Amino acid sequence: MLKLLKIELFKIFKRPRTYIAFGAIAAIVFLIQVALKFDGKSYVDLLMSNLSGSFEFSDDFKGRLLNGYLICFVILNTLLIQMPLLVALIAGDSIAGEANMGTLRLSLTKPVSRTEYMLVKFAASVVYTLALLIWMAALALFGSMLIFGTNDLVVLRSEGIEQMKSFDVLWRYFAAFGYAAVALTTVSALAFLLSVFAENSIGPIIATMSIVIVFTILSEMNIPIYDTTVKPYLFTSHMVAWKGFFYVKADAEGTTINGSIENLPAVLKSLGILVAYIILFFSTAVWVFRKKDILT
Amino acid sequence: MVPIIEVKHLTKSFRDLKAVNDLSFTVQEGQVYGFLGQNGAGKSTTIRMLLTLIKPTSGTIEIFGLDLQKHRKEILRQVGAIIERPDLYKYLTALENLRIFAAMSGIQISEKKLMDQLAMVGLEQRAHSKVKTYSQGMKQRLGIAIALVHDPKLIILDEPTNGLDPQGIADIRNLILMLSRDMHKTLLISSHLLSEMELIADSMIIIDKGKKLVEGKVNELFDPAETIVELKTTDDSETYNKLMQSSLKGFVQGKRNDCVLMKLHRNKVPEVMKELVRMDVNVISLHSKHSLEDYFLSLTTGQSNVEVA
């Protein structure tokens, strides 16, 4: 299995198109970092303007606000919406791309079971997703920490602000990136499933993105009837739960409790739902593929 | 003789279409077995079932005496194949493609052995070139190298000469003969190039609309000495009329394009030539056209290749 996985990764990372996603992430991160380096104050002013009625912020506070942790939070917020497309590019190509090239039939005449083949293909797309996230973490988190330094992280919420001490932030990012890996693997599993039905990779990629977009719109819509009937069952509703790692508990005096997570059970529940979706998508893909006649 | 492939009552339906219909045949060890049929006859569907790409609707396939469905991996370790055309990873080099499929075949193979394999098909000089720069013939040869890299006992080639120029066809033919004679491999080869098949196959099956029409040894299926002669003269109509009034009338099959067609045994050709000279027929050319093609067409379409005037 490991040998087969190495082969899959070799094939993925030998294709120039694989690096488009890495280039896109680097470009977006770089553009955000450059913009905030030269005009960060305007951005913070804009950010604080919503709260200026209730709070008074000193320039010193605003200055400390613009640090590597905040920049990473901004980047994560921006990129985690776009990343499903980048992930679908590879996962949607997994089986359909092989069918399109004609290499699927040759591969399946080798002494490898279809289940093994699917496991390896999916594992390779998960490794690719992880590589993208590590790349993003390296640029967005460590890059921003290097350029902007570190300080307390302030996160805006509709009901106010969350402030975390500098020493209490890094582990939250690791947890958020871990969660994002599961969320993106869900998209990857969906694209992988759709890839089984297609004979070229464009179809599954577009279909995956269409589903993600429609589900995201439904997740974000404020229609009360959907809140209990539809939203809890959409995987996109749970993909944004990584933000839960940045919402902290406060004591009776309103002071932030270091190391706390406001609603850990909700985060874990969302995580569980995403894992269930991954299992559902992947096992359906294997079931379909095992029965499929290879006619390409 | 040990049976290597035993197919019994194999049927494959795609909704209402029976692509393969109650097909049975046996390939013996060491044979080059020709699998013949027109386009859409069910050759590729059968080959895909032999390679587990398609599941049969009914019937059984045994390879090396084992049930294919139950012993798939064990059997495929000993099988090398090209299906229709050798589609490969175009963005990788020949060596990388070969390495990938060798690993998928479950074997450890040194770089030198891989290069030897490429040398066998004449690609060692282009081992590091990307496959997208290859001609169709080179891809076909690389496909064969991939089919052979794990030293399989059984080689299945689906239309291996498709899209090749005459030199490419001759190269593949020689390679197949070498695999059979020198390496004692068992080969199942589908083709519509009947003349090619006659040169390499020991036995063959002809199928049409998914059904077996005939199976047997090549030299038993038709008389190789029986031939169709194409006679080209300065005036084919006059020649035809003269022939129909002569002692050669019984050999005349008809007229096609600007030729008169005659069916006769090869050792009758000199006698016919003398008679033509005696009849003062101005012969431009006379060449024999193999009767296998005609035989094939008469089996698969129920009519001869020859238009009777």
Tell me the two tokens of residue B98.
């070969």
Please report the pLDDT score of residue A156 as a whole number: 78
Q: Residue A52: what pLDDT?
A: 57
Task: Assess if residue A246 is contained within a domain.
Answer: yes
Tracing tokens 């049409």 back to the chain, one arrives at B208
User: What are the residues whose beta carbons fall under 8 Å from the beta carbon of B87, sequence distance 6 or more?
Assistant: A101, A102, A103, A105, A106
Element (H, E) at A57: none
Chain A CB contacts of B76 under 8 Å are 109-111
Neighbours of A98 (CB within 10 A): 24
Which of A45, A30, A125 minimizes the C-alpha distance to A78? A30
* Contact between chains at A294 and B48 (C-beta distance less than 8 A): yes
What is d(CA A134, CA A138) in angstroms, rounded to the nearest whole number? 6
User: Looking at the predicted structure, is the pLDDT value of residue B303 above 60?
Assistant: no
Residue B308 pLDDT > 60:
no
The pLDDT of residue B255: 78
Neighbours of B220 (CB within 10 A): 9
The tokens for A174 are 């690791």
The torsion angle over the Cα atoms of residues B141, B143, B144 and B147, rounded to 10 degrees, is 170
DSSP H or E stretch at residue B280:
none
pLDDT at residue B27 tops 80: yes
What's the pLDDT tens digit per position in B86-107? 789 999 999 999 999 999 988 8
How far, in Å, CA of A89 to CA of A104, rounded? Answer: 18
Structure tokens at B122: 């004449």
- The tally of CA atoms less than 13 A away on the side-chain side of residue B71 is 14
**Which among B51, B91, B92 is the nearest to A109, CB-wise?**
B51
The pLDDT of residue B306: 39
Q: What is the pLDDT of residue B189?
A: 92
Domain tally for chain A?
1
pLDDT reported for residue B225: 66
Highest mean pLDDT among A96-100, A271-275, B35-39, B137-141: A271-275
| pLDDT value, residue A63 | 72
First to last CA, chain A: 25
Residue B309 confidence (pLDDT): 33
Q: What residue ranges define each of the domains in chain B, with the CATH number in brackets?
A: 3-217 (3.40.50.300), 226-300 (3.30.70)
Q: How far apart are the C-alpha atoms of A77 and A75, rounded to whole Å?
A: 5
Task: Tell me the C-alpha distance between A63 and A41, whole Å.
Answer: 8
Of all residues in chain B, the one with the smallest CA distance to A17 is B91
Q: What is the mean pLDDT of chain B?
A: 85
Return the half-sphere exposure (C-beta side, CA atoms, 13 A cut-off) of residue B145.
27
Angstroms from A247 CA to nearest CA on chain B: 47
CB atoms inside a 10 Å sphere around CB B63:
26
> In this predicted complex, what is the ipTM?
0.82
Pairing outcome for strands B17-28 and B32-36: unpaired
Structure tokens at A77: 């917020």
Which A residues in the span 8-47 are in contact with B, Cβ-Cβ below 8 Å? 10-11, 14-16
**Per-residue pLDDT at B223:** 66
Angle, in degrees to the nearest 10, between helices A68-91 and A18-49: 140
- Which chain A residues are closer than 8 Å to B79 by Cβ? 109
Is residue A58 one of the residues assigned to a domain? yes
In a domain, A296, yes or no: no
Residues belonging to chain B with any Cβ–Cβ distance to chain A shorter than 8 Å: 48, 51-55, 72-74, 76-77, 79, 81-83, 85-92, 96, 100-101, 103-106, 146
Residues in chain A where the model's pLDDT stays below 50: none
DSSP structure class, residue A138:
I
Q: pLDDT value at position B85?
A: 79
Contact A293 B103 (CB under 8 A): no
Query: Which pLDDT score is estimated for B51?
Result: 93
| Chain-chain contact of B52 with A295 (C-beta, under 8 angstroms) | no
Is a pLDDT exceeding 60 seen at residue B291?
A: no
Optimal mutation site among A107, A109, A291, interface B, most CBs of chain B within 10 A: A109
Least confident of A75-89, A247-261, B238-252, B295-309: B295-309
CB contact under 8 A, A293 and B53: yes
B87:A102 CB<8 A: yes
* Collapsed DSSP state (helix, strand, coil) of residue A277: helix
Model pLDDT, residue B76: 93
Report the pLDDT value the prediction gives residue A210, as an integer from 0 to 100: 93
At position A179, the amino acid (one-letter code) is: Y
User: Is A291 close to B72, i.e. CB distance below 8 A?
Assistant: no
Query: Residue A259 sits in which domain range?
Result: 2-291
> Which runs of consecutive H residues, i.e. helices, occur in chain B?
43-50, 72-76, 94-104, 111-120, 136-148, 166-181, 194-200, 218-221, 236-244, 269-278, 291-300
Which structure tokens are listed for A141?
Answer: 């988190």
Interface with chain B: mutation pick from A19, A106, A290, A296, highest number of B CBs within 10 Å? A106
Is residue A44 within a helix (H) or strand (E), and if so which, with residue range? helix A18-49
Residue with the two structure tokens 């394009």: B257
Neighbours of B112 (CB within 10 A): 8
pLDDT of residue B8: 93
Task: Name the amino acid, one letter, at B260.
Answer: V
Strand bridging mode B186-191 / B32-36: parallel
B162-179: pLDDT as tens digits: 777 788 888 888 888 888
Q: What are phi and psi of B82, to 5 degrees?
A: -125, 130
Distance (Å, whole) CA B102 – CA B120: 16
Neighbours of A274 (CB within 10 A): 22
* Alpha carbon distance A117, A289 (integer Å): 10
Interface contact A111-B76, CB threshold 8 A: yes
Among B163, B221, B165, B217, CA closest to B192: B163
* Digit-coded pLDDT (tens) for A192-231: 999 999 888 899 999 999 999 999 888 888 888 888 888 8
Q: Which has more confidence, B301 or B172?
A: B172
Residues of A in contact with B92 (CB under 8 A): 11, 14
pLDDT for position B300: 61
Residue A143 lies in a domain: yes
